[in-house]
Structure 1
Amino acid sequence: MHVGIITPRYPPNTKGGGEVSTELLAKKLADSDRISSVAVMSFDGDGTETRDGITIQRLGSISNVLTEWQNLRAYPKLRNRVDEFDLIHAYNMELHPIVGALSGRTKPATVGTLNSYHFFPRSVTMDSPGPLEWLYEMIGHPTTGRLLEYFVRQMDAHIAISEAVRDLYVEFGYSSEKIKVVPNMIDPAFEVRRDIGTDDKDGTTEVLYVGELSVQKGVRFLIDAIAALPSAYRATIVGDGDQRTTLEQQVRALGVENRVTFQGQVPYEEVSSKYGLADVFVHPGIWPEPFGRTILEAMQAGLPVVCTDIGGPADIVRNPELRCEPGDHEALAASIRYASENGATIGERNQRYVENEYSPATVVSEIIDLYERLLDGERV
């Protein structure tokens, strides 16, 4: 089977966890004896290279401002290339419409991973649109936006990376019969420590957050939770975003400057050291986030993980004591305390859990099974 992966960006060009997941998928497909070849087509530069057994074709740059224009620009670059593949897998959403538009030919079959809510109204992501985005929300989304979404639906199948994603897409009218839930996989190359517990670190509990500093990530509730906990609890916040100044002001207003540290953006290859110094990982989001790669990483590092009971993260964190209502800092504080007091046991269980349920062997096998069913003319 010859597989082509279409994505706006491919490492080393990254925007977030989606590109990391794309590279992992490509590598593991290329390693499988059920796949003959893998090629990636991206729009983040020029040139062709072969790396890790994968042909990477960078087909020039296209606008990342307007999705309609992105897809129009991508069409002539893709239409004469896709027929060389048995199956096309679209990743990272922006170019899903053009892949859907290329569906319906004798060849290839098409699959799109649903790893964001790119074509949904901003109300779904709890994002505050800027002036141009507000204009698109009012004019583009009800018109050309609907056309884009129509083409996304034309793909032969969709992979939802969590049950929460599947449920939301079905709610918006996508066919449940075309959606298969397959989570993201852990990165086996991610360096982890296996000796992390709740050993005494001068009597402190180190709480870690890794991610964007935006409203929907709910970091303000983590800061409130730290302020509500005893002084032995400290938080390290890794990441950056438009809310950083506001969050720093909140820290000063609560008088917890000596207990909350902002470390800014950290390169992906250096993040593992942050997990190694932590006792508890917290994901305090207040929106239905599609997944949560940082949660997998924290579990690989042997950490107990606390999250809010919404979206994809709640699919991963199964222990109800470690989930709480979004926006409830007192419940978040109680879950952090529980995680700290039971850290060693929970951390060891988390390592075993993600290594079994989210291993590349398990995840890629499910994806290839789906490919083969589609090529045999079967349903998802």
Structure 2
Amino acid sequence: MRRIVIGADTYPPDVNGAANFAHRLATGLVGRGHEVHVICPATGAGPERVTPDGPTVHRLPSHGTPFHPTFRVCLPWQIRGSAARLLDRIAPDVVHVQSHFAVGRTLIRAARRTAIAVVATNHFMPENLVGYTSLPEWLATAACRLAWRDFVRVFHRAQVITAPTPSAVRLMREHGLVGDAVLPVSCGLDLHRFAQHTAKNQGEGLRVLFVGRLDAEKNVDELLRALSLLPTWLPVTAEIVGDGSHRRGLEHLARALGVADRVTFHGLVSDQEVLDAYARCDVFCMPGTAELQSLATMEAMAAGKPVVAADATALPHLVHQGRNGLLFPPGDVPALAEALGSILGDPEGRTRMGEASREIVARHDIGLTLDTFEMLYREAAKLTTARGRENHEHTAHSGR
């Protein structure tokens, strides 16, 4: 058994991929007999909570932001002492941070001072943040460049660094993070949970589904525009599961395009309702261009669905052109409409692609992810011990 601290700048009740992964990792490790502590921003709950058969969650003082209605941030100078005292009290074998923001960087600094092994996982792309601002393009570009520089400066202090896909690792390397211990590890998924039988539509027509945040980088407007271009002989409706800053604008767009009667905005729904949405859809669509992995796409694949996705970032790792779905050039709405029409108009092809989706996503089972991180924790601890408690070199370092 190991004592593990997971540092997360976003954690449930937050709803996003990074928060969901941190929770899945923590509970999965507890299930394997490890003692797990999660250190994350406060959300109004008490400072510490022990979940039966789950991790102990420690909440640090946090603040709301003007950029996102639910995302909260910690200020490093406010949490520095608390984080250091928590590490002293917990005395973990390894600290595994999920970002380079305040909680992550503070824990890395505290862990390095006391020679605790550090593993760092990146779920970050600056494009996921600048979409919440109204910065002009030139300033947003400069902000992204500075954000990547800051990321490298923080993460180079970890013994082992991971990202969900080879594309995400390549992106980190392109921005200056080099070293042998920078490697891809899938976020993983409980595949059995999504492997349910397809629901019968009973003459209700064809359904295309999107699941995720309704924010700028998800490009859900492209799905709505593509829906308006589909041939009239295809009885297609769209289901949108999720919420976000662009929901109201998307509802207005659906009305302006004349497709409001064919689009259902479900908002945030229960886990079972998400499973039901996957089961009844005919094709899943992910038009986002800032996906370091896309858990929603993996969930749809585990449910045995074909996928139409933007040919961007990590999505081509999941969507194999012509095998389990189709890729379209980012921003090309007519191409998206053509891809959706091609799959929706081919019942046998949908079945074949759905089966292929299950085969492809099998390598992303959460059990394999937990196996890998357990191995990386051992390796990180060995590196820390071998290099001594002071002045040891770092396997991953900045190339800048």
Alignment TM-score > 0.5, same fold: yes
| Alignment partner, residue 98 of structure 1 | 106
Runs of 4+ in 1 over 4 A off after TM superposition: 66-69, 134-142, 144-149
Task: State the AA in 2 paired with 1:73.
Answer: Q
1:130-149 equivalence runs, <5 A? 130=134
Q: Does 1:344 align with 2:346?
A: no
Match of 2:268 in 1: 265
Q: Name the counterpart of 1:256.
A: 259
CA change 1:73–1:189 in 2 (3 A) is: farther
Query: Relative to 1, partners in 2 of residues 1:135 and 1:331: Cα closer, same or farther, differing over 3 Å?
Result: closer
- Out of 320, 328, 333, the position equivalent to 1:329 is 333
- The answer for the alignment partner of 2:77 in structure 1 is 72
User: How far did residue 191 of structure 1 move?
Assistant: 4.9
State the 1:114 CA deviation: 0.2
Specify the alignment match of 2:35 in structure 1: 37
Cα deviation, residue 105, structure 1: 3.8
The whole-number CA distance in structure 1 between the counterparts of 2:32 and 2:74 is 36
Would the alpha carbon gap of residues 139 and 294 (structure 1) be closer, same or farther in structure 2, given more than 3 Å must change? closer
Q: TM-score, normalised by structure 2?
A: 0.81
Q: Identify the residue that residue 392 of structure 2 maps to in structure 1.
A: none
The change in CA–CA distance for 1:162 and 1:191 in structure 2 (over 3 A counts) is closer
Distance 2:118 2:301 in 1: 33
Equivalent position of 2:279 in the other structure: 276
Q: Does 1:187 align with 2:161?
A: no
Normalising by structure 1, report the TM-score.
0.85
Provide the rounded CA distance (Å) in 1 between the counterparts of 2:46 and 2:82. 12
Once the 2 structures are TM-superposed, how far is the Cα of residue 337 of structure 1 from its aligned partner? Answer: 2.7
Conservation of the 8 A alpha-carbon contact between 2:5 and 2:92: yes
Pair 203,32 (structure 1): closer, same or farther in 2 beyond 3 Å: closer
Counterpart AA for 1:2? R
| Counterpart AA for 1:25 | L
User: In the alignment, is the contact (CA less than 8 A) between 1:87 and 1:107 conserved in 2?
Assistant: no
State how 1:1-380 maps to structure 2 within 5 Å: 1-11=2-12, 13-32=13-32, 36-44=34-42, 45-51=45-51, 53-65=53-65, 70-83=75-88, 84-94=91-101, 95-105=103-113, 107-117=115-125, 120=126, 122=127, 127=131, 129-130=133-134, 150-188=153-191, 190-196=193-199, 201-202=202-203, 204-231=205-232, 232-285=235-288, 287-320=289-322, 322-340=326-344, 341=346, 342-354=349-361, 356-377=362-383
> In structure 2, do the counterparts of structure 1 residues 54 and 245 end up closer, same or farther at CA, with 3 Å as the change threshold?
closer
Between the two proteins, the alignment pairs up a number of residues equal to 368
The 3 A distance-change label for structure 1 pair 54 and 283 is: same
Asked whether the 8 Å contact 1:82–1:108 carries over to 2, the reply is: no
C-alpha distance in 1, partners of 2:73/2:204?
55
Contact 2:9 2:73 in 1 (8 A): no
Contact 1:115-1:160 at 8 Å conserved across structures: yes
Structure 1 residue 176, shift from structure 2 partner: 4.6
Distance in 1 separating the partners of 2:56 and 2:117 = 20
Q: Secondary structure at the match of 1:190?
A: helix
Aligned-pair identity in percent equals 24
Which structure has more relative contact order (CA 8 Å, sep 6+)? It is: 2
